[in-house]
Amino acid sequence: MERLVALSCPQLLSEGERGEEPRAFLEVVHAVEAFCPWVETTSLGVCTLPARGPSRFFGGEASFVAQLRVAVAEVLGDEEAVGVGVADGLFAALLAARSDEVVAPGETAGFLAPWPVGVLGRPDLAVTLPRLGVHTLGQFAALPTRHVLARFGADAAACHRVARGEEGDLVGLRDPAVARRLRRLDGELPDVTPQAGFFGGVSDADVRAARTLARLQERLGPEAVVVGRLSGGRGPAERARLLPWGSRDADPASAPVPDGAPWPGRLPPPSPVTVLLRPRPAEVVDRADRPVRVTGRGLLSASPQRISVDGGPFADVGAWAGPYPATDRWWSTRRRQARLQVVLDSGGALLLAAERGHWSVEAAYD
């Protein structure tokens, strides 16, 4: 685990009405960069830098910390305006900065033990663990690893390793939107698009929307308000996910960048505007009313003539294209799927999928 120095400026942790904080913090970052170029902004008002190299150069850790403190106090005009912490790993260093402490190497777990579990930044754990009588990181660390993994999942297990001082980094400790914004303020990035993250929003509109959506979730439940994110995949349902607003994965910073990768078998745009959460069973028949099948070689047994959805009346097919094989392993017998685009004589277009001899309507192009 890398030993880190973290600086936290309590007055600059959030943006006030006049919006001066980012610029003031940028000056702090510049002052710190005079000591070492490897300064990382983790969130507004908080930055970190490696401890070992600069400490050697500036006469030891204590001396380095003191010099940093003076430099930042000069920028902000206030000695109390900065907390400096030194510890192993990002998570401990950030907490050490809050309490203005130097945590000796190897004493991370002991330092973390008294902190409440809420500092992990996981709302679900912060609610659930205290109900189980686990209030502090020390108590959390004492739980058996496999129980944490089994009951709370992989993310909680990562938190658990951090609480035990075995690992120092955790998803969500950094706010990349802030780093980008400071770089833009600094003129490194052109200020072209009104790019905005949304947690704690950057533009007024983002803040207003966030408040409204949270209100709606209180009323309708967290799962009722969702956002869409793109992901890799072939079928329309696999290429996007709906995630509850506010969930970690819905944070644009954690979203995978969609998708330069080619997906053989993926249909070209335009994509269907209606993608059924539950595909509806369909029948596809040829001119002689015999069921149309997809053959082992990926061809249709006959031209589709009419289709029926959910056992409803048959509608005439005007045009069709496909089948597009859509399996990861087309030669495998486990999941052999093919898709068919169909335009009905009524003008509507549907996307059908065939699997194990059964057709279903997957999406519609309304």
Instruction: Give the binding site for another protein (CB under 8 A).
Output: 192-194, 196, 198, 203-206, 208-209, 211-213, 215-216, 219-220, 224-230, 236, 239-242, 245, 252, 267-277, 300, 303, 319-322, 341, 343-344, 346-349, 363-366
Helices (H), the chain: 21-33, 52-57, 61-76, 90-99, 108-112, 123-131, 137-142, 145-152, 154-163, 176-185, 204-220
CA dihedral 49, 53, 58, 62 (to 10 degrees): 70
List the structure tokens of 54: 């600069």
> What are the tokens at 356?
């194990």
Rounded to whole angstroms, what are the CA distances from 233 to 216, 335, 353? Answer: 31, 15, 15
Residue 33 has a CB neighbour count (10 Å cut-off) of 13
d(C-alpha 131, C-alpha 123), whole Å? 13
Q: Which is nearer to another protein, 24 or 216 (CB)?
A: 216
Give the torsion through C-alpha atoms of 202, 207, 213, 219, to 10 deg: 140
My answer on whether omega of the bond before 270 falls inside 30° of 0, hence cis, is: yes
Q: Shortest Cβ distance from residue 220 to another protein (Å)?
A: 6
Question: Considering beta carbons, is residue 14 or 231 the nearer one to another protein?
Answer: 231
Is-contact 32 23, C-beta < 8 A?
no
Least Å distance, CB 25 to another protein, is 23
Which residue, 149 or 207, has its beta carbon nearer to another protein? 207
Distance from CA of residue 261 to its chain's centroid? 19
H-helix or E-strand spanning residue 340: strand 337-344
Rounded Cα distance between 97 and 83, Å, is 5
- State the residue for tokens 């907490």: 95
Compare residues 103 and 227 and give the one whose CB is closer to another protein: 227
**Residue with Cβ nearer another protein (35 or 320):** 320
- On whether the CB atoms of residues 271 and 236 are closer than 8 A, the answer is yes
User: Cβ of residue 230: shortest distance to another protein, in angstroms?
Assistant: 6
User: Among residues 84 and 326, whose Cβ is nearest to another protein?
Assistant: 326
Phi, psi at residue 307, to the nearest 5°? -135, 155
Query: Smallest gap, in angstroms, from Cβ of residue 285 to another protein?
Result: 15
Min dist. Cβ of residue 355 to another protein (A): 19
Least distance between another protein and beta carbon 232 (Å) = 11
Q: How far is the CB of 286 from another protein (least distance, A)?
A: 12
Q: What is the Cβ-side half-sphere exposure of residue 292, based on CA atoms within 13 angstroms?
A: 29
In whole angstroms, how close is the CB of 252 to another protein at the nearest point?
5
Q: Is residue 21 within 8 Å of 12, Cβ to Cβ?
A: yes
Distance of closest approach, residue 17 Cβ to another protein, in angstroms: 17
> What one-letter code names the amino acid at 22?
P
149 vs 276 by CB, closer to another protein: 276
